[in-house]
Amino acid sequence: MNPSVGSDPGLCVAKGDDPMMPRLIEIGRLCTAKILTQQEVVKFANGIHLSGHGGTNDGIIGAAAAVGLTASGWSGRFIEYGKLREFPELVTVYELEMAGIRVVSVDRDTMLPGSDDVVRH
């Protein structure tokens, strides 16, 4: 089995003191709320090294977002677990917990999620 089948690996390289770092941070924040295109990310991250290494090269979007979120001190993760992708876009914490998925917040100043809280994935 080829592990790259279905993958869109991307690479983003930037120094911590790069003057474009605030733009990468903004890309990361934008990507948590909406879907950006390759063209938007390339334009927004002008001067930052972005390269795609397979698939449609959409991996540059996630790579840029990951660097920006990490630089801002906040980063999220998506982990494949059971039938996680089969849940609707909006699901309660209770429903996830009943499926064996523990919901935690990764924000810096966080409150514990309640069972009636809704998660968008």
> What pLDDT, in 10s, does the model give residues 29-71?
999 889 999 999 999 999 899 999 988 999 999 999 999 998 8
What's residue 77's pLDDT?
53
Q: Looking at the DSSP assignment, which residues form a beta bridge with residue 52?
A: 10
Q: Which of 46, 38, 40, 59 is nearest to 14 (CA)?
A: 46
Q: How many CB atoms lie within 10 A of CB 54?
A: 14
Is the pTM of the predicted complex or chain greater than 0.75?
no
Query: Does pLDDT of 2 surpass 80?
Result: no
Model confidence band, residue 5 (pLDDT cutoffs 50, 70, 90) = low
Q: What is the pLDDT of residue 3?
A: 47
Stronger pLDDT, 87 or 25, i.e. the higher one: 25
Q: What is the pLDDT of residue 76?
A: 56
Tokens of 64: 């840029």
Tens of pLDDT, residues 86-118: 888 899 999 999 988 888 776 667 778 889 998
**Cα distance between residue 102 and residue 36, in whole Å:** 29
CA–CA separation, 56 and 103 (whole Å): 32
